[in-house]
Structures are given as structure tokens and as C-alpha cells.
Amino acid sequence: MKLISINIGKEQTLVRPGKTEQTGIFKQPVQGAVQVTWQGLPGDFIGDSKHHGGPDQAIYIYGWTDYAWWEKELGHSVQPGLFGENLTIEGLESAQFHIGDQLHIGTVILQVTAPRIPCGTLAGRMNMPSFVRQFRQAERPGLYCRVLQEGTLQDGDTVTIEKFTGETVSLLEAMRDHYEPNLSEASIHRFLAAPIAFRMRKKKEEQLAQLRISK
């Protein structure tokens, strides 16, 4: 695997049906070595801090293998950063990952924490009102990561994967179960045992509490 693009989004205005918002989803490639901190990439704007950003979603990664599928689905070529990812990686496919897996890039170590859950901002960026549903059904979510080791990386760096050996769930399972309101207690405990992002953890804890109340 190889890092083929590092993408940073400046603050821009996005107008979509019923809403005008400030967003950093319009990413542009940057050249040369880039510093990565526990907060992500310096200069990368986060418009909706309720759902995006933070230590557990510091970096968003999308794979060029998944983009190749989207080119056929959309019927046109795509460019790195289209979905608002910070890092575009050649040879990477969402389906191969589990929560907790690590990516070593340059001197940086990242850990997978969550799948991307599509939102209206993504649909607005694509100018496709139905894209939230389309992205969900495609099951090619990309990876949110926390930064385990700060450092530098640059396009062309080799990417190596270290699989998580503890109890975990696959990235696609995490995406599917995000939409499942009636998870079993055992399933919820599996999620909570994994190093999932804090937003997803909070949701699972709330589901578990509600499940226990209803018994």
C-alpha cells in the first residue's frame, strides 16, 4: 500500500437544500512532508465538531481501490479528497479492516476507530441528495483513525498494516450496526470491548442502558 495524496480542507461555505454551512469537506492535495498531531492535520477545518473531528476521528482515510469502484458507479473519474478524506491510499479497501487495526505511515501510527457514517454535508458536496443512502448501501465507508504516534508523512510513503489482536468488530459490521436499533446485549458488549471512537461508544452505551431498562 502507498500513500498517494494528503488532503487538507480550508473553510468554505456549502449551500444545500434547507441549510447553509461552513465546512472543510472540499479537500485539496498538499505537497511535501506534513506534520500529524493527535488532533489531525494542521490547517484542516472542521465545521461540524459535534459529528466530526476530535482525537478519535483525527484522520479520515479513503482507499483508491474503493474510489475505483465509485468511478464505475458514478460514471466519471474521481480525484483524491472527493469524499473529504485526509489521506488517500493506493491498494486500500474498507472491507479489509477491523476496529483497532493500525496503519504505519512515515513516522506516524494511526489506529482505526470507526467507519464514516454519511451525512447531508457529503450529499451536498456531491450535489446528490440521495448520496447518503447510496454511500451507505455501497459499504465502502473509509476509515476514521486516532493518532497513536505523532510524526510526519508525505505522499509516496509506504503504508503497512498491523492487525488488532484483541476483541473487535469489522469496519463493515460497525457501519451496519450503526443503523440497527435492536442490537443484542452481547453484540453491544463486543463493540464496547473494542477501541471504538468515543461517539460510537457513547451511542452503544446508551443502547445498552435502554436495553437494560426495557427488561
pLDDT in tens, 115-147: 999 999 999 999 999 999 999 999 999 999 999
Contact present, 95 and 171 (Cβ < 8 Å):
yes
Contact present, 111 and 195 (Cβ < 8 Å):
yes
Q: What per-residue confidence (pLDDT) applies to 61?
A: 99
Contact present, 3 and 107 (Cβ < 8 Å):
no
CATH code, residues 2-164: 2.40.33.20
The total of other beta-carbon atoms located within 10 Å of residue 181's CB is 7
**CA separation for the pair 16, 201 (Å, rounded):** 30
Q: Which helix (H) or strand (E) holds 188?
A: helix 185-193
Percent of the chain with pLDDT over 90: 86
pTM of the model: 0.94
Count CA atoms within 13 Å of residue 43 on its CB side: 12
Q: What per-residue confidence (pLDDT) applies to 116?
A: 96
Q: Residue 211: pLDDT band by 50, 70, 90 thresholds?
A: confident
Contact present, 171 and 115 (Cβ < 8 Å):
yes
- What are the structural domain ranges in the chain? 2-164
Q: What per-residue confidence (pLDDT) applies to 215?
A: 66
31-87 residue pLDDT tens: 999 999 999 999 999 887 777 788 999 999 999 999 999 999 999 999 999 999 999
Residue with cell 484522520: 59
**CA separation for the pair 70, 64 (Å, rounded):** 10
Q: State the average pLDDT over residues 78-97.
A: 97
Q: What per-residue confidence (pLDDT) applies to 58?
A: 97
Look up residue 141 and give its three cell numbers.
465507508
- Residue 18: is its pLDDT beyond 70? yes
**CA separation for the pair 151, 149 (Å, rounded):** 6
Count CA atoms within 13 Å of residue 25 on its CB side: 22
Q: How far is CA 160 from the centre of its chain?
A: 18
Q: Residue 210: pLDDT band by 50, 70, 90 thresholds?
A: confident
